[in-house]
Structures are given as structure tokens and as C-alpha cells.
Amino acid sequence: MKSLNMDPSVRVVLNTTEQDWEAAPAKGIWRKKLEREAAESGLTTSIVRYDPQSNFPAHSHPMGEEIFVLDGVFSDESGDFPAGSYLRNPPGSSHSPSSLNGCIIFVKLNQFSNEDSAQLKLDTSSMEWQPGLVEGLSVKPLHNFKYENVALVRWAPNTFFKPHIHFGGEEILVLDGVFADELGEYPAGTWIRSPHLSEHQPYSKQGCTILVKTGHLADRGFLKNRPA
């Protein structure tokens, strides 16, 4: 398989609700590919669906794994994680994931710095919203490491943000509602990756919730030296 959306200098917008599910190597597990370095290795960003009573064989994460549970309950030997759970498994970690009743997750593989060793298991539904930078904006910070920041951001209806530049780029998954900027409108299920030093003026007329990561696209150089 050729690489997919691996040039971080290119803006990518995908409505994942319009993508077909593709079978993964493990029975009962399906995925929608967003960015991928190789067929079954390297940097990967995907939406993954576990059918009820499905499981994935034990495996390691040479450069880490980041998960947000979108629906159902995702499980591994460390616990059960319902929708809204945010998980970070650091470089060198391993597990045997499964789902008793089925689930859908947003997952990013092999994109950590070797120094980013935090292991997180956050139930975001129990976290308090914090005031954002403008009225109508609320935030749940999830993780930060050097230049990278991850958060849930909630936009009340008719909330507008000032124009700004993203040093290190920005990546968004729209969880509900409709997110927008001067380039278009993005309904729930849309994945947006904007390059280093990109600029926009986001807003939401209807209101929305997004999972957002910033600062991580400025330099993917550390990936060149990751373990095989």
C-alpha cells in the first residue's frame, strides 16, 4: 500500500461518515484510514470499529498510541473505557485490546516523541469545562508536551474566535454539531489537518464539540529515528 496523507504541509479535510469501513487484519475489527505511512506499520491515524466480542492480538507501540473513545466501551487488560475516554500509551507499551459489546475509537499510532512517557487514562465526562479564550468557548485540557497540546473544546451556538496562526499545525475531529471557518463547514465526523503556520478564523453557528491537537506538525523529524 502507498502512503496516505503523509505530507504534513498539505491541508486535509475528510468527512469520515462518507468513508467505507475496511476490514482490519483481525476478525471483527474495521477501520477508516485517515493518514498512514505503510500498510500495517508506521505512523497511522484511523477511526476503528470493534464488533461485539472482538479482540486484537497483543501488540506493542514502538512510538506510542493515542485513543479517544467515540462510542461504546473499549477495553484492554488495564480496564474498560467508555465513550469520552482519552488514553495515551507511551512508547514501548503493549496491550491486548478488545470490546465486549462493540465500540468505535479514534486512534493515532507511532506519533509520540521518545521523551513523551506519560500514560493517561482520562474519563473526560467527569472533567469540568474550563472557560476558553472568548465568550462561548469552553475547554477540557487533556495533554501537553513541549509544543503539543490536546484538548476538548466546546463551542456554544454563535461563538466566533479571532483569526490566528497555528505554529506546528492543527488537527481537529468534530465530535458533534458543526464547526466552521472561512474555508467551509464541517459536520460531526469531519477530520481536519491544517499545516504548520496555517491561519483561519473558526466559528460555530450551531454549536459543536471538537477534539483538537496543536503544535505537533512543525517537525516530524523524530519519526525518522523511531524503532522498526
Instruction: Please tell me what DSSP assigns to residue 161.
Output: -
Walk along the chain (228 residues) and give the pLDDT tens digit of each residue.
Answer: 578 899 999 999 999 999 999 999 999 999 999 999 876 667 999 999 999 999 988 888 889 999 999 999 999 999 999 999 999 999 989 899 999 999 999 999 999 888 899 899 999 999 999 999 999 999 999 999 988 999 999 999 999 999 999 999 999 999 999 999 999 999 999 999 999 999 999 999 999 999 999 999 976 644 433 333
Q: What integer pLDDT is reported at residue 164 of this predicted model? A: 94
The whole-angstrom separation of Cα 68 and Cα 46 is 11
On whether the CB atoms of residues 203 and 163 are closer than 8 A, the answer is: no
Query: What is the pTM assigned to this prediction?
Result: 0.93
Q: What integer pLDDT is reported at residue 181 of this predicted model? A: 98
Q: What integer pLDDT is reported at residue 1 of this predicted model? A: 59
Give me Rg for the CA atoms of the chain: 17
Report the alpha-carbon angle 131-65-133, nearest 5. 15
Reply yes or no on domain 19-123 having CATH 3.20.20.70.
no
Buried b vs exposed e over 17-46: b needs ≥16 C-beta within 10 Å?
eeeeeeebeeebbbbbbbbbbeeeebbbbb
The whole-angstrom separation of Cα 70 and Cα 88 is 15
- Domain extents for the chain? 19-123
Q: What integer pLDDT is reported at residue 225 of this predicted model? A: 38
Q: What integer pLDDT is reported at residue 127 of this predicted model? A: 98
Q: What integer pLDDT is reported at residue 60 of this predicted model? A: 87
Residues 88-129: tens digit of each pLDDT: 999 989 899 999 999 999 999 999 888 899 899 999 999 999
**Cell triple for residue 48?**
476503528
Closest alpha carbon to 189 in 29, 59, 13? 13
Residues 42-64: tens digit of each pLDDT: 799 999 999 999 998 888 888 99
